[in-house]
Structure 1
Amino acid sequence: MTSEIDHLVTSGTFSLDGGTWDVDNNVWIIGDEREAIVIDAAHDAAAIRDALGGRTLKAIVSTHAHNDHIDAAPVLADATGAPILLHPADLPLWEMTHPDRRPDGELADGQTLTVGGIELKVLHTPGHAPGAVCLYAPELGTVFTGDTLFQGGPGATGRSFSDFPTIIGSIREKLLALPGDTKVRTGHGDSTTIGDEAPHLQEWLDRGH
């Protein structure tokens, strides 16, 4: 069976520390013609369900718990029966958006999720958020980085629950260790590769010492 990556862009708002901003989010769907995993159920549960095309949703994986990455997760979970998975360090952020609905399972560094014959390795990459994770699919030559790494540099660390030296350490230890041709599929904006970002990131890494 053919493995595939589907990409959906949804629009909504991000709110934290008393501010609200309009954002476009990347939603990634990984699987085959029978089953799939959704990475970051953002804003529009109906559009995400439509993009599944009748496939069985095995899990809703949250790269972190900022509201724009999880706001549609409970509705999508209720509609499909799929569990919501989140690193437990992000529960305080999760509860700011969904105080009455906890995730269904936990993500842990080194854990492997399998869907449609594809293995996704969980990499705990705190910094943008305490429980931020990336998902590395070696067979597909890609890593889903949420808001940890973008085209042009690390994710933002200027708001609550974030820390610049921590995100620099996460990128150095977990992401720059991946092959240079690994495609980086981000939580917002365009994709890139580890090789394209490494020279630029060295400047950020130097500032983190």
Structure 2
Amino acid sequence: MKISADVKAFEARIGHHFDRPELLLRALTHGSASTPARGDNQRLEFLGDRVLGLVMAETLLEQDTGAAEGQLAPRFNALVRKEACAEVAREIDLGAVLKLGRSEMLSGGRRKQALLGDAMEAVIAAVYEDAGLDVAKDMILRLWGDRVSNVAEDARDPKTALQEWAQARGEKPPSYTETARSGPDHAPVFTIAVRLEDGEAAEASASTKRQAEQEAARALLSRVEGRT
């Protein structure tokens, strides 16, 4: 089966040449562009989520042999969550080769976090089906890069940490307020402000309210911890 030049370039970006390119083409096909001859990537997404989970669970156990389950769980979640998959997908420009229906293309589907995250999981499954677990693991760890070695710090929940910081000083929990929303409906940008009882505040913007809250909390926590 022949594949287009842009898909060949994508193979180079992920570092794997497919013996069965039809697997990759299916992984890149969203439901809005599926046909009777070529199915969508939902089944591969299901499998890829499990392959990613196994690889990250094994890697975390190898990386920190003394960590308890309670320490490993948030690290694992940080590495396999949809946001992390979408970040990796953006870095390898997966959106450029996604096969989308007209409606999804017009609504900015190539930039949507959910679509990118799902497609990244499907690509993982395609590599696994094409070449086995070891090759899939090598690709995952190469693409995730420093996220794996830095996950112990990155997995720290800024909102929880900020609340604990405030409560330890007898203050009320921080408050979060949406101060702005911009962008089109299919790709909104939320701006969230977080404020402590003493008036200290910070603000951040992101594509989801949850992420904006986390980033605002991270900024404020860094400021107040540096002050003490």
TM-score, normalising length from structure 1? 0.27
* Greater helix fraction, Structure 1 or Structure 2: 2
The structure whose RCO (Cα within 8 Å, separation 6+) is larger is 2
Q: Which entry has the higher C-alpha Rg, 1 or 2?
A: 2
* Greater strand fraction, Structure 1 or Structure 2: 1
TM-score, normalising length from structure 2? 0.25
